[in-house]
Amino acid sequence: MKGFAKQFKDLPDYILKITYQIWENRDVESIMQYYAENIPVRSPSGVIYGPEAVVKATNATLNEFPDRQLLGEDVIWIGDEENGFLSSHRILSKATHQNDGTYGPATGKKLVYRVIADCACRNNQVYDEWLVRDQGSIVRQIGIDPKTFAANQIQSEGGSEKCNIPFNASTNIESKYVAPPQTSFDTGEDYGYILSNIMDNNSNIFQEGYDRAVRQEQAGGLTGYGRDDVEKFWMNLRSSFPDAKFTLEHCANLQENKQTNKSAIRWSLIGKHSGSGLFGAPTHTEVYVMGINHAEFSSKGVKNEWVLFDETAVWKQILLKTG
């Protein structure tokens, strides 16, 4: 690849190898090489800038989970050597909560959870990143429900006046990233159409858009099987924010020989917590939900779906307004 070190044969190889080098080879300082100066890394908890901040965050995670493994389940990517690349990297993490840290006193619990990172890459560096970690899954496995974790986090960070503010509609999202041209949008358009119809409360879309044998890996570390489970999950989220604006923020599709068609979509749901559902009784709090999904298609629709958003970040926004 032009502009990349010769050891990387293609973009997935680059993403998988630098992830392994940083995390499992414990070469955290290589972030200074692979992350561009002033890179924004956006997540539901907020934005950090520059490789130094990424090094600090990585070391903190490794201190709390020193045996963490990052199993790269898939890299859905778009782009080319001239326009740059976008990688949507789905990671299955295995780790033991061995030391005190962000998640409280060490519990010794063994965890399995997912992360999806969307990274814009060129010239051997990541220069823009969006990352969603399944915090709901992590804290449940440690033994804390997401609402309680968010409340504890506010207190540990100095209270509502001093704590870190989650990503919200006022957060600066200026970016140098421009989506590279795609030769075909078929799969991405199909999945975007499905998600938009779900958010428009078109209940027919579950029969039209999903394979009857669909498997859905849900935020919170849960798994659903079949259309009924998929519909229940999505409606439980949508009913919490019935009037919120749903936006397809970024769409990527991948169609490779001998592989199923795939799509990666980053989305947002912005508006009031005005309904009952996943986040309890309505509080009328303004909320920003950042999500990243992966999907694989059969001839009958979505066969496998992965949905990630951070329940704890949503609860933190609600609790900062309601106490």
Give mean pLDDT, residues 203-210. 97
Query: In this predicted model, what pLDDT tens digit does every residue of 101-128 receive, in sequence order?
Result: 999 999 999 999 999 999 999 999 999 9
- Collapsing DSSP states into helix, strand and coil, what is residue 263? strand
Residue 146, SS3? helix
Q: How confident is the model at residue 210 (pLDDT cuts 50, 70, 90)?
A: very high
Average pLDDT over residues 197-217: 97
Q: Does 232 have pLDDT greater than 90?
A: yes
Nearest to 294 by CA among 309, 308, 306, 310: 306
For residue 302, pLDDT over 80 is answered with: yes
CA atoms within 13 A on the CB side of 239: 12
- How much is the pLDDT for 185? 59
Label residue 188 by pLDDT band (50, 70, 90): low
Residue 183 pLDDT greater than 80, yes or no: no
Q: What is the CATH number of domain 11-156?
A: 3.10.450.50
Q: Which of 11-25, 86-100, 136-150, 163-177 has the lowest mean pLDDT?
A: 163-177
Mean pLDDT of 159-171: 95
Work out the average pLDDT over 62-78. 97
List the structure tokens of 57.
């965050």
The whole-angstrom separation of Cα 224 and Cα 232 is 9
With bands split at pLDDT 50, 70 and 90, how would you rate the model's confidence at 186?
low
Residue 80 is encoded by which pair of tokens? Answer: 């080319």
Query: For a pLDDT cut of 90, what percent of the chain falls above it?
Result: 91
Which one-letter DSSP state was computed for residue 180?
A: P
DSSP secondary-structure letter at 29?
Answer: G
Check residue 184 and give its pLDDT: 62
**Residue 257 CA neighbour count, 13 Å, CB half:** 0
Q: Which CATH class is domain 186-322?
A: alpha beta
Q: Is the pLDDT of residue 159 over 80?
A: yes
pLDDT tens-digit readout, 252-268: 999 887 789 999 999 99
Question: What share of the chain has pLDDT > 70, as a percent?
Answer: 98
Would you state the pLDDT for residue 281? Answer: 96
Q: Is 11-156's fold the same as 186-322's?
A: yes
What does the pLDDT read at residue 249?
95
d(Cα 317, Cα 3) in Å, to the nearest integer? 41
Asked whether residue 79 carries a pLDDT value surpassing 80, the answer given is yes
pLDDT at 201 over 70: yes
Residue ranges of domains in the chain: 11-156, 186-322
User: What integer pLDDT is reported at residue 182 of this predicted model?
Assistant: 74
> What is the average per-residue pLDDT within 175-200?
84
Residue for token pair 């509080």: 283
Query: Which pLDDT score, from 0 to 100, does residue 294 have?
Result: 98
pLDDT at 240: 98
26-40 residue pLDDT tens: 999 999 999 999 999
Mean pLDDT, residues 95-100 taken together: 98
DSSP letters for 17-80: HHHIIIIIS--GGGHHHHB-TT-EEEETTEEEEHHHHHHHHHHHHHHHSTT-EEEEEEEEEEEE
pLDDT the model gives residue 40: 96
Task: Kindly report the average pLDDT of the chain as a whole number.
Answer: 95
**Res. 187: pLDDT tops 70:** no
